[in-house]
């Protein structure tokens, strides 16, 4: 039985037609699900009792359970641990900025990508999320905080391009004018470099932002911390990113976790220049979060700034990501691992 929120509006229209319902019921039900965010068919009070009963027979509504959360005393960031219907645990993060709120959501329960600096991958991947589960991460955090979410990043646990169909349904429902009506330009999808998925996303005509988890400027270094590089070398990944830019006009963000003694030297900055020269892009430097299993640590502030300044002198657009949730288990996978 499908969770009805996983259906796009077009798919819902098809199911309503199969049930012999009039076409206006599609918009009516879709608004209940994605604007009013009801958690029970009984709450759809302008539907007949017979239709509500039929919906219960055909579909399910399975809201996520908030198992626990942590709130930063420094900046109000909230890290949520959600429990899925099958008992698996996933994470989401609610981040407050001056004029907007951003949530970071997971696309899988855990991750199989094996990036050595990330806690999400330590236990592997327990399964992919449905579109409904991804949506409910957003809805649950809005409901719990009482605040509107204006930006969504699919940058939590998991590789979203390996959960492609659910990802696209999630984006379509999130951006539908009869749903939350979020601009596609306010959605960012992060990938470690699944080349066929990047090309396929470029063809969707949905102008979401693409972020590539780069983290090293050469194949040799990247293979040592990101095993996916063995399957998709950097040259192929960068070509796919250039294709995405050409098809969508959306500037690519390259996420770069700064790891002391691994990828933070002047030579690394020079290799980044070689790799990205002539590419309209942005590099987001992220001082790596400590993870007990790997022993990595971030460079000190002075060295991080020196790395940033070197890239700027090369003409590359670069920032150091503002640290949020530093006093809680803010990094991907940390809170989940604590409860496994």
Catalytic residues: 91, 332
The Cα–Cα gap between 72 and 61 comes to 31
Task: Say how many Å lie between the first and final Cα of the chain, rounded.
Answer: 28
Strands 65-71 and 78-83: antiparallel
Q: Which long-range contacts (CB under 8 A, 24 or more apart) does 229-235 make?
A: 229/193, 232/193, 232/194, 232/195, 234/275
* Residue labelled with tokens 């990501």: 321
CA-wise closest residue to 334 among 123, 127, 120, 128 = 120
Per the CB < 8 A criterion, the answer to whether 294 and 117 are in contact is: yes
The Cα–Cα gap between 271 and 125 comes to 32
Q: Is 22 helix (H, G, I), strand (E, B) or coil?
A: coil
Q: Which helix (H) or strand (E) holds 281?
A: strand 281-287
Per the CB < 8 A criterion, the answer to whether 3 and 62 are in contact is: yes
Q: Which helix (H) or strand (E) holds 243?
A: helix 234-248
The two three-digit tokens of residue 111, written as one number: 């991750």
Q: Which helix (H) or strand (E) holds 144?
A: helix 131-145
The gap from C-alpha 278 to its chain's centroid, in whole angstroms, comes to 27
The gap from C-alpha 21 to its chain's centroid, in whole angstroms, comes to 35
- Helix (DSSP H) and strand (DSSP E) numbers for the chain: 11, 12
* Residue labelled with tokens 């050469």: 218
The Cα–Cα gap between 261 and 303 comes to 11
């Amino acid at each position: 039985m499908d969770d009805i929120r996983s259906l796009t509006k077009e798919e819902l229209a098809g199911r309503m037609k199969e049930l012999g319902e009039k076409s206006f019921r599609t918009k009516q039900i879709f608004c209940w699900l994605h604007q009013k965010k009801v958690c029970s068919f009984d709450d759809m009070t302008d539907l007949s009792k017979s239709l509500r009963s039929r919906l219960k027979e055909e579909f399910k509504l399975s809201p996520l359970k908030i198992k626990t959360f942590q709130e930063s005393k420094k900046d109000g960031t909230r890290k949520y641990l959600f429990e899925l219907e099958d008992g698996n645990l996933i994470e989401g993060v609610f981040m407050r900025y001056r004029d907007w709120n951003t949530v970071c959501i997971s696309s899988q329960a855990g991750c199989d990508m094996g990036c050595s600096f990330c806690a999400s991958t330590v236990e592997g991947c327990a399964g992919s999320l449905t579109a409904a589960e991804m949506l409910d991460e957003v809805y649950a955090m809005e409901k719990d905080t009482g605040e509107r979410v204006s930006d969504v990043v699919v940058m939590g646990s998991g590789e979203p391009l390996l959960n492609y169909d659910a990802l696209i349904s999630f984006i379509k429902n999130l951006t539908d004018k009869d749903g939350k009506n979020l601009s596609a330009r306010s959605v960012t999808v992060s990938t470690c470099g699944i080349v066929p998925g990047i090309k396929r996303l470029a063809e969707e005509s949905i102008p979401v932002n693409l972020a590539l988890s780069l983290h090293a400027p050469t194949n040799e270094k990247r293979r040592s911390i990101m095993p996916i590089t063995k399957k998709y070398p950097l040259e192929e990944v960068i070509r796919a990113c250039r294709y995405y830019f050409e098809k969508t006009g959306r500037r690519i963000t390259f996420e770069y976790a700064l790891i002391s003694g691994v990828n933070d030297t002047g030579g690394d900055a020079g290799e980044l220049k070689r790799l990205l020269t002539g590419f309209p892009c942005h590099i987001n430097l992220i001082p790596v979060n400590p993870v007990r299993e790997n022993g990595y640590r971030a460079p000190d502030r002075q060295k991080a700034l020196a790395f940033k300044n070197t890239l700027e002198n090369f003409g590359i657009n670069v920032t150091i990501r503002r640290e949020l949730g530093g006093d809680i288990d803010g990094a991907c996978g940390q809170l989940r691992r604590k409860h496994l």
